[in-house]
Amino acid sequence: MIIQPIIDLVAIVAKSGIHQAILSPGSRCAPLTLAFARHKDIHCRTISDERSAAFIALGMAQQLDKAVVLVCTSGSAALNYAPAVAEAYFQQVPLLIITADRPKEWIDQWDGQTIRQENIYGNHVKGSFNFPDEFSHPDKVWHAHRISNEAIKLAQTYPYGPVHINIPLREPFYPTKEEQYDYEQPHILYSEITGITVLTEDDKIKLKHALSSFKKILIVPGQHKPDDLLKSLLDQAIDGDQGVLVADGISNMSSINSITYHDHFLPYHASHETYKPDLIISFGKSIISKSLKRFLRNSGAEHWHIQENGYLPDTYQSLAIHIKTHPIDFFNFFIKNATAIDVNFKDSWTLADQKVADNIGEILKQVDFGEYKSFYKILPHLPSSSKLHLSNSMGVRYYNFLGAKSPTYEVICNRGTSGIDGSNSTAVGCAFTTKDPITLITGDMAFFYDRNAFWHNYSMPNLRIIIMNNHAGGIFRLIEGPSDQPELEEFFETRQALDAEHLCRELGFKYFRAENEQTLDEVMKIFFHKSVHPQILEVFSDSKANAEIFQRVKSDIKNLLTDSSQNYSL
């Protein structure tokens, strides 16, 4: 049976410019599935595992800057979306989540595939709507159209985020052969006119006066998409000695003049007064570096955060001004009005960063083969016009320690909730949106946790995956606390004996393995060549040895930075 308000919902989605949908099989959701699948302007893919489906949609929406639709059946299927929904909420990624449901009278009656789906995602969505369950009165149809419009607009209004529509459906679910889908029935389509939030002249006068009292300004971008204009403005500020830019890997804002090795030297120089800022200017979302967060929280500096709208975290416990504008607008103002910073402050950061940059390569050449050296050797081979996905745990941390300056690729990591659960799927979603090379560098735990990312029938010739397999959750050897416990191997590392070769054989992926430096070098010569199918490289190492190498690198850098004979400590 065709339910016209559901057809209208799909028509409104398409006319709003949303053209991608990820559907998961089910019977209760059949009216939704057919309505999306039969619309000529919506590209639908089917992904059987809802947890993976949601992360795939997230990976697509990250790239498209536009909502992607998710559709699933009733019951636990909707709960399986939850990890990706939370990630999308904190990463401010737009998703339109549509869940089929039982009619309200059948909730809590032991009916099959029935749970409490209203507001199922709690505070991790921007809004949650319940569709009418019948349309006998015209007001019910009007209400359905209004919900469709409001949900779409809410998902794509800054700050972006996931929005949920729960739709109770009664049998019959399937149309007869004679029934036709009419996407042109009259309905209201909301339009929106939004102005750009810019600094007023009064704002500029106040900020200029405030800036004049600061001489040690630290600019700290959080996770952000690449933006050439914004990056150019930051470069101008650095070149003009107006601030020091500390760029985590996920900020996509690092340049040849920015600070990227802060994770190495801050633990040894954080107490030095010359490093302490008196003003922190931030934009974007979270940063990776725990050392940097701890340093900024203890610095005593005033904090200004640039963000157009939305809730405002006080990450460094010193938030003084929320500047409600786009960072481009602010830094256009900043480079025209900020004065030169204290030269000792700038030199302290710059010299420490340069010291690590000049020596880390030689230090890593001297250590044994393992994860750290593998990361160091792999990164220079990444295709320039590519997108690099990093899994959480050690993957993103190794990248940050290696301090890439001005990479030509985009860096992507699910740092909204910082979980390992959807790394594969997010990279797959990204691969669906572009022909550019996509590389995922991941750990074995994150990779095997998300194997169903590849359980579908769509080609991904541009996908490359590098697995750092130490047969354990090796990060726990590097964290103070679990590394000292006798239960480490069984209850924290949770050691496993899996490798990806059999999975590659099942999936038809090309498989490479490297167990030493020479083999890795040989594989890197061909790994990024074009291919018909995805390719996986599995780099094997020992968890205990990786921990020892990590500590040796830290020790060598500490010695480098604190050796008074080099006249370096500031």
In the predicted model, is pLDDT for residue 485 greater than 80?
no
52-108 tens-digit pLDDT: 999 999 999 999 999 999 999 999 999 999 999 999 999 999 999 999 999 988 888
Same domain, 411 and 550: yes
Same domain (yes/no): 393, 534: yes
Q: What is the pLDDT of residues 148-174, one digit of tens each?
A: 999 999 999 999 999 999 999 988 788
Residues 268-297: tens digit of each pLDDT: 887 889 999 999 999 999 999 999 999 999
Q: Which residues contact 178 (CB under 8 A, 6 or more apart)?
A: none
Domain shared by 41 and 10, yes or no: yes
pLDDT score at 174: 80
Please give the structure tokens belonging to residue 191.
Answer: 């339009």
Its pTM surpasses 0.85: yes
Contact partners, residue 529, CB within 8 Å, separation at least 6 = none
**514 and 388 within one domain:** yes
The pLDDT value recorded for residue 570 is 32
pLDDT at site 568: 36
First to last CA, the chain: 76
Residues 343, 221: one domain? yes
191 located within any domain? no
Decide if 192 is inside a domain. Answer: no
One domain, residues 349 and 378: no
Give yes or no: residues 428 and 534 share one domain. yes
432 and 521 belong to one structural domain: yes
Tell whether 310 and 448 lie within a shared domain: no
Tokens of 483: 């590394």
**For the residues of 252-290, what is the DSSP string, one character each?**
S---TTSB--HHHHHHHHTT-GGG--SEEEEESS----H
CATH number at 417 reads 3.40.50.970
Are 346 and 236 in a shared domain? yes
Give a yes or no: residue 195 inside a domain: no
Assigned domain for 391 exists: yes
What is the span of the domain harbouring residue 471?
A: 367-556
Torsion angle in degrees (nearest 10) through CA of 519, 524, 528, 529: -80
Do residues 24 and 147 share a domain?
A: yes
- Amino acid identity at 504: C
Domain assignment of residue 243, yes or no? yes
**Total tally of structural domains belonging to the chain:** 3
What is residue 193's predicted lDDT score, i.e. its pLDDT? 72
Separation of alpha carbons 42 and 62, rounded Å: 18
Q: Is the peptide bond before 159 cis (omega within 30 degrees of 0)?
A: yes
Tell me what pLDDT residue 473 has: 65
CB neighbour list of residue 437: distance below 8 Å, 6 or more residues apart = 382, 383, 385, 386, 387, 462, 464, 528
* 279 and 418 both lie in a single domain: no
- Domain boundary among the residues 327, 356, 385 is at 356
- Domain presence at residue 180: no
Strand 127-130 and strand 68-72: the pairing is unpaired
Beta strands in 325-435 (DSSP E): 387-390, 410-412
